[in-house]
């Protein structure tokens, strides 16, 4: 059975159309399904419109966050396969069958956006940077770290719910968690349309929050990939300072030179400790 989980916040303008198109496509392909709309404390008629369209609605008493809505939907889903979509009309229900064909061969299948016109230049640039950074952390080519359109096996999603933040960055967290634990991931190119209504993401506030979360993710999933380069920078700067003082200025090395070497060693040791803690966490989750 397929459980389609859609987080929604003030999407009364479009949510009825999204549900209607979903029902048509899922019936056309003969799928056994349920549609769960998680109303994340909307101030409009999102809940009423979604129920009228034929979906099961779970309402939060107040706005908790996009990630929290996804977690609520996954916990209440009956199906063994979870389809995660946005409720703003960007994702086409016609793409579900394209993604489903790779289940159960892959543990998670993600719709990778190939048309960048639906987002602002700033967001597209930020997503590109995040994709490069995530690829560096995981040794895996991450095509679209922040895509909200994905299909995942429920038993695997439940394993990592405790890691997911309540905000918009849940896709990046679950992507890195799966790769880090050796699960398989498949990207399928999709074309998204321009969203209906105003985006809930604030470029500055959510951008800074996402940057902090990315740093947390980096230290959580691949600490040495972060700490070793930092350690090498300080250690290399210490070597340069030593050569500059002793061989160029023909002076005695200073306390600052020793300080740089010590900082480099401490950062490296912190990386080793963080790596062990990270491994213990994943051994427990497995």
Our count of domains for the chain comes to 2
Confidence of residue 200 (pLDDT cuts 50, 70, 90): low
**DSSP summary character for residue 239:** H
- pLDDT value of position 120: 57
Please give the share of the chain, as a percent, with pLDDT higher than 90.
53
User: Do 200 and 227 belong together in one domain?
Assistant: no
Please indicate whether residue 47 or residue 131 has the higher confidence score (pLDDT): 47
pLDDT tens track for 113-171: 886 555 556 667 777 888 888 888 888 999 998 899 999 999 999 998 988 888 777 89
Residue with tokens 């940077």: 129
- pLDDT value of position 136: 85
User: Do 84 and 137 belong together in one domain?
Assistant: yes
Please indicate whether residue 217 or residue 11 has the higher confidence score (pLDDT): 11
User: Do 153 and 248 belong together in one domain?
Assistant: no
Specify the pTM.
0.80
The pair of structure tokens assigned to 246 is 């002793």
- 205-221 vs 255-285: helix crossing angle, rounded to 10: 80
Q: What is the dihedral of CA 14, 19, 22, 28, to 10 degrees?
A: -130
Residue 235, classed as helix, strand or coil, is helix
Domain that holds residue 254: 223-285
User: Do 190 and 153 belong together in one domain?
Assistant: yes
User: Do 237 and 272 belong together in one domain?
Assistant: yes
User: Do 21 and 73 belong together in one domain?
Assistant: yes
User: Do 147 and 279 belong together in one domain?
Assistant: no
């Amino acid at each position: 059975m397929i459980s389609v989980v859609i987080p929604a916040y003030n999407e009364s303008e479009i949510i009825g159309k999204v549900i209607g198109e979903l029902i048509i496509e899922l019936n056309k392909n003969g799928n056994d399904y349920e549609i769960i709309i998680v109303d994340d404390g909307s101030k409009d008629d999102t809940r009423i419109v979604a129920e009228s369209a034929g979906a099961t609605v779970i309402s939060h008493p107040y706005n908790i966050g996009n990630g929290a809505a996804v977690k609520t939907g996954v916990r209440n889903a009956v199906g063994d396969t979870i389809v995660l979509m946005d409720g703003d009309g960007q994702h086409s229900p016609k793409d579900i069958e394209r993604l489903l064909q790779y289940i159960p061969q892959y543990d998670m299948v993600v719709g990778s956006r190939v048309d960048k016109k639906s987002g602002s230049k700033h967001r597209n640039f930020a997503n590109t940077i995040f994709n490069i950074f995530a690829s560096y952390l995981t040794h895996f080519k991450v095509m679209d770290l922040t895509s909200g359109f994905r299909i995942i096996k429920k038993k695997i999603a439940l394993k990592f719910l405790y890691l997911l933040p309540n905000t918009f960055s849940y896709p990046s967290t679950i992507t890195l968690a799966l790769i880090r634990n050796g699960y398989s991931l498949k990207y399928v190119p999709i074309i998204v349309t321009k969203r209906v209504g105003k985006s809930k993401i604030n470029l500055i506030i959510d951008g800074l929050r996402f940057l902090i979360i990315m740093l947390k993710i980096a230290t959580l999933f691949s600490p040495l990939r972060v700490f070793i380069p930092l350690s090498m920078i300080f250690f290399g700067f210490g070597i340069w300072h030593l050569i500059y003082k002793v061989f160029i200025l023909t002076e005695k090395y200073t306390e600052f030179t020793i300080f740089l070497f010590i900082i480099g060693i401490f950062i490296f040791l912190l990386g080793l400790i963080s790596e062990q803690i990270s491994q213990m966490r994943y051994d427990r989750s497995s």
